[in-house]
Each structure stands twice: as structure tokens, then as C-alpha cells.
Structure 1
Amino acid sequence: MSPTGGSGTFPAVQGPLLARIWDKSQASREARAAGVHQHREGQLCGATEGLLTVHTGDTRWAVPALHAIWIPPGQEHGIDPHGQFDGWAMLINEALCQGLPAEPCILRVSGLLMEAVKRVAGWDERTWTPDRDPLVAVIAAEIRALPDAPLGLVMPRDPRLARIAHALLRDPADRRGQAEWADWAGLSPRTLSRRFPQETGLGFQAWRQRARLLRALEHLAAGLPVTTVALECGYQTTSAFIEAFGQVFGMTPGRWRGQGGLAGQG
């Protein structure tokens, strides 16, 4: 998580790539020490338990268990772990990043990639031998092939829209309608409806729905009961929350938490 040459968790990359796996205490310590930073290598950072939130530019990302975020070389970012977090990170030499995504994105991690990360984490980074090169090629191919996940939330730049967005993030349970939000921020409903997708890629209602669901992931990772999460995130009933969650993530909140190693807490 920390930049090359920063806290010492990642020494300078001597070969094409370098990986680290953290337990709960290490992950929280490294995230606090790193703060907002950037490094010359590309970074793939994932969770095996719990949840990460990552900030890159105007976008807020949620990285649940079984997923990873790709951060291109030179991209400024900050990382915050949630719940009982275990995670890993891999730095990839800038020369190998050609052909990899040019923008940050969330990827669903394959079993093959996870096993490759574990193998690289056990290598001695002070030396590099040619027999490692085939695995490097496999890792690069896996990153290119992994499917994207809808776990990013772009913040609008217009000050009026940004005011609304930050208010919704502070209190996703606020049930004011689109016209009420427009009046509160000092713009017309038509302007709100037109500008929100222009600046975020999502209509206002879709943006609010995603904001609620990403906040729900944080609450679930922290171990809150599903009913409490539903109410905290603005859903009138638990069943409505479960339905919305399933439409996006393809599973119930309880099953998601179980896959993250937090079964039995909700």
C-alpha cells in the first residue's frame, strides 16, 4: 500500500514486479502511514477479507473481498481498510504496464491471479531469475482478462452538484427527492438532471443508488446487521435493500459477507 521507498514495506522494485500480503494489523498500519501518495509503478491492491475504500482523483472506489483495484503508474491515491481486513498489493514495473488499463478500475480476482500473488510474495525481491518470467506474463494476461466490477463512484465537479453529492455521502438515508435537492443546492431540477450524468456518468438516481450500496458494503464489513445497514443506507425495508443489492452484486448481503469471511455477524 505504501509508495516505493516510503515505509519500507515495498523496497525498490528490482525486477518486473513485487508483492506483499498483509494481516489485519499490518494493513491498518500501512494504510495510515501511506496517506495519499503515488508511485512510479502500477499497483494492484486487493482484499481477501473485509473491504478497502480507495480515492483516486474524483472517484471513490469500494474494493470488497475477492476483488482488486488497478492503479496505473503515477496515479495519486489513498487507501482505507474497513472491518476485519486482510489484503495484498503488487507493484508492477512501469515498463510492464503498457497494455494494462490506463485508468483505475475494480477487477474481480481469479483464483489463478490470487495464487500467483501468493507465489510472488514469497520471492526474494533482492534478486531476479529468468525462471520467474513466465509467471509475470501470466499475471499481466490475467489483469487484462479480468472483468470490471461496478464499484466506482465519480464525484461531480460543479460546486452545486458536489454539495449534493457530499451531503448524500454523509447521510445516504436522506430521502429528499431530486427536485428538493436541486432547490437546496440552488439550481433547477432540469439542470441537475442534465449535469449529473455529464459529470459522473450516472443519472442522479443511479448515482444515489450506487452511493448507498457502496456505503452498505462498508457497514457490512464492519459487522452491522443487514436490517441496520438497510435503514442506515436509506432503504425503507430490508427486502428492498436485499433486492437492490442482489441486482448489482448478484448475491444477498448475507452471502457477500460470508464470502468476505464475516459470516455470522449479521
Structure 2
Amino acid sequence: MLDFSSTVFGVDRREYLPIACRPVHAYEDKFPLGYVYPEHTHDRAQLSFSLSGVMSVMTEDANFILPPGRAIWIPANTSHQVASRSAMHFQIVYIDPGIGEQPESCRVFDVSPLVRGLIHEIIGFDLNYDMQEREGRIVRLLLEEVSRVPALSVRVTLPQDTRLRQVCDAILANPSDDREISDWSEIAGMSRRSFTRHFKQETGMGLAAWRQQVRLMEAAARLSEGETVTSVALTVGYDSLSAFTFAFQRAFGMSPSVFRAK
């Protein structure tokens, strides 16, 4: 269940309680740089949209980065933690799981003008709205759009094995760490062969590819925060600016400079 008993940043969350009793409710809020909302769950699906600032969302099996203009769908009862990589301005919509056809897994997507407008309309719903009227049609159209738009490959799958997880946590904390598989397997207390086999089984890719995914997600976050392309490339562990640009272009469909400008 949602917890509206606390006060955060001077805003009494209990003011949302009457709205939260409705099958769909939404609001707009801000988090300061470095704020972490601890691991929690909701009995409703959650759609979070970053208006400005960079949001990090971690579930039990994946880590997501949301720069401005992107949203994440989190199914009901999915444990997750949210952290603000920079001062954030965001919108959230909560939807009862019984309403419409809803995605069954987390997905990140670019927010279209239509989705942005639908979220804005839901935030403005009157307390006594009727789901059988216009409001219900707006919510169902939003769900249709969330399911229809292409999901972006901006997730890093996390292993369940605690030995592998400590390695992944270390790389997430410092993506530029370029230690070899033999070093990481020793840290995990596993043979190189066993480490390699289990890592691929649990994440779907080898360590080098997984680490590159982490580096590119970190790069996207830093570019969204305004850092220069050269600075970001060096910070996340690339020795060559051209290699960074090529990898980023292949992953995001645009160059780092274009992404930063957007």
C-alpha cells in the first residue's frame, strides 16, 4: 500500500490521500540532487515521467536510467528504488492493475506529445471523476500508448547470485573500473570458467558487454546533466573519443553531442 503518512521536502503527502483512494491518480513533484527513495512497492502500476533531471530506478533484477523526456512503466507490486542523479522535476501516475491492458514488465520509452498531454489531463482530474466517462477513456488511451510505443534498451540486468551481484554493484559504482575477468572471478570466489558461465546465464551477456552497457547508461545520464562529451567519455572508461561515439551511436541511435543537445 502507498504510504502517505510522511512529510517530504515540506509537502504533506497526506494531501494526496483522497485522490489516492480513486482507481487512478497522479501528481507532479520535485526531488533534490542525491535524494534516494528507499526500496518499496505499490499495489498499483506506476508511470514516472522525468520532466527535467536524471532519475535512476533499480528493481530486483535491473537498473534503469531516465534522462529528461523519458518515462518508465513499473507494474504493480514491483519492488523498486528511485534516486535522483540531479535536481528532478517529474510526474507520476498510479493506476489500479484491473484497469485496461497493462504491460507486465518494466519498460522505458520516449514520451510523445500525446502521452505528455494525457498525463497532464490525468493530473487535472476532478476528485469525483467517473471512469465510465471521458476520464476513463483518457486513462485507457494512455495505457494503449504505453504498450504501443517502442521500449528502449536502457536496462542493465542484475544477477541474483550474491557473488556475481557484488561484482556488478562494484562496476555500477565505478563504470570505469577496467579490471579483467580473472580479477572479478577472484573477488567473487569463483573460477574464471564458472564465473564466465554463470554471469552469462544470469545477465544474458558476457562481462565486457554488460560493463559497456553500464558505461553507456552512465554516459547518457552525465550527458543529460550537461557534462561535455569528452569529459563523459573519459569518466566512464573510454580511452578513445571515437570509440565512445561509435558505441553510443549504436546504442542510442544518435551521437553523444546530439543526445546532449536534445
TM range (shorter): 0.7 to 0.9
CA distance in 2: counterparts of 1:133 and 1:158, whole angstroms? 43
Aligned residue runs from structure 1 range 19-98, under 5 A = 19-22=26-29, 26-28=30-32, 32=36, 34-96=37-99
**TM-score, normalised relative to structure 1:** 0.85
Q: Which residue of 2 aligns with 1:8?
A: 14
Residue number among 145, 148, 163 corresponding to 1:145 in the alignment: 148
AA paired with 1:128? Answer: Y
Q: Which residue of 2 aligns with 1:235?
A: 238
Q: Which residue of 2 aligns with 1:192?
A: 195
Preserved CA contact (<8 Å) 2:32 2:86: no
**TM-score, normalised relative to structure 2:** 0.86
Of 168-177 and 51-60, more deviation after overlay is shown by 168-177
Preserved CA contact (<8 Å) 1:84 1:221: no
Secondary structure of 1:106's aligned partner: strand
Number of matched residues? 252
Residue number among 109, 112, 115 corresponding to 1:110 in the alignment: 112
Percent identity over the alignment? Answer: 29
1:178-222 CA-to-partner distances (Å, cap 9, x unmatched) read 233324433222222211121112221211111111222232233
Preserved CA contact (<8 Å) 2:61 2:158: yes
AA paired with 2:157? Answer: V
1:237-259 CA-to-partner distances (Å, cap 9, x unmatched) read 22211211111111122222222
* Aligned CA-pair RMSD: 2.4
CA distance in 2: counterparts of 1:95 and 1:64, whole angstroms? 30
AA paired with 2:122? Answer: V
Q: CA deviation at 1:47?
A: 1.0
Gap change, CA 1:9 and 1:79, over 3 Å in 2: farther
Q: Which residue of 1 aligns with 2:9?
A: none
Structure 1 unaligned segments of length 5 or more: list them.
260-266
Aligned residue runs from structure 1 range 199-214, under 5 A = 199-214=202-217
Q: CA deviation at 1:53?
A: 0.3
AA paired with 2:195? Answer: L
Q: Which residue of 1 aligns with 2:129?
A: 128
Q: Which residue of 2 aligns with 1:263?
A: none
CA distance in 2: counterparts of 1:93 and 1:4, whole angstroms? 16
Structure 2 unaligned segments of length 5 or more: list them.
6-12
Q: CA deviation at 1:117?
A: 0.5
Residue number among 177, 180, 187 corresponding to 2:180 in the alignment: 177
Q: CA deviation at 1:151?
A: 1.4
Preserved CA contact (<8 Å) 1:82 1:221: no
CA distance in 2: counterparts of 1:167 and 1:184, whole angstroms? 10
CA distance in 2: counterparts of 1:70 and 1:9, whole angstroms? 24
Residue number among 25, 42, 45 corresponding to 1:18 in the alignment: 25
CA distance in 2: counterparts of 1:92 and 1:57, whole angstroms? 21
Gap change, CA 1:144 and 1:215, over 3 Å in 2: same
CA distance in 2: counterparts of 1:216 and 1:118, whole angstroms? 30
